[in-house]
Amino acid sequence: MLIQFWLQFYVDTTIPMLNTFNIRTLLTLYPGQQHFSSKWTKVNSGGRYQKNTFYHNVGYRVLIEQESVSTSLTIILHQIPYTNSKDTPITSLQNHHPIGRYVFLVTDKNVKLKESPPLYSDAEFIRARSISKIVQIHKGHEYYVVLTCFEPNSEAAYDLTFLSDILLSITKTESIDILKPRVVTPPKNKTQPLFLKVK
């Protein structure tokens, strides 16, 4: 009698299934999806943007192509740490790097002066498998999204996803010259003429 009761319970139980929010729905909401996969390999793994070697980081140049004034851009970064054990596909969170992403805004004035563009969105470094950020971007401006680890010389793979409701032009660059610090040439020491006092 007890067995029959439990069997009836499982028969009448309805298991919830995924509803209409599927890949097609996602494509409808974000027709401007773009995905990238790459790696942090020590020299391009980042650190804070104030470092002189920061321009070596991989960047993603973002432009609005359609006749739109502005749009929201969702940036999703998922890191894939290297592991020595093939038997453990899931890496513990403590083995993940603190990661973040910067967004820089470039204007024509910045490009002409060869100056570092102003910081549009600062990085909040979090030790997590995935982080996301929504920023508002505008037509007529050029943006660079830079993914970094908090500690330089780190190594890991990552997946990057951009979601937007309009078509964007996104180009991967292996380094960002616009972020390269300007080299200031010190003034030359001018030798002063030596005058001898004649008695």
Task: Lowest mean pLDDT of 40-54, 68-82, 162-176, name the range.
Answer: 40-54
Token pair recorded at residue 77: 């970064």
Q: Coil, strand or helix: which one is 103?
A: strand
CA distance 67 to 54: 33
Amino acid at the residue 162: F
Q: List the domains of the chain with CATH numbers.
A: 34-83+93-179 (2.60.120.380)
Residue with tokens 């990085």: 123
User: Which residues touch 72 (CB under 8 Å, ≥6 apart)?
Assistant: 134, 135, 136, 137, 164, 165
* pLDDT at residue 185 in the model: 44
Residues 103 and 196 sit within 8 Å (Cβ to Cβ): no
* pLDDT at residue 16 in the model: 43
Amino acid at the residue 51: K
Nearest to 149 by CA among 37, 51, 44: 44
CA distance 24 to 43: 39
Residues 166 and 34 sit within 8 Å (Cβ to Cβ): no
Angstrom CA distances, 99 to 66, 113, 130, stand at: 31, 31, 9
Query: How is 74-121 classified by DSSP, letter by letter?
Result: EEEEEEEE--S-TT--SPPGGGSPEEEEEEEEE-HHHHHHTPPPPEEE
User: Which residues touch 69 (CB under 8 Å, ≥6 apart)?
Assistant: 138, 139
Nearest to 74 by CA among 10, 126, 26: 26
Predicted confidence band at 91 (pLDDT cuts at 50, 70, 90)?
low
Token pair recorded at residue 60: 């993603």
The model's pLDDT over 53-73, given as tens digits with 9 standing for 90+, comes to 788 888 899 998 777 788 899
Task: Lowest mean pLDDT of 51-60, 71-80, 155-164, name the range.
Answer: 51-60
Residues 146 and 57 sit within 8 Å (Cβ to Cβ): yes
What number is the average pLDDT over the span 98-117?
71
The model's pLDDT over 131-148, given as tens digits with 9 standing for 90+, comes to 999 999 988 888 999 988
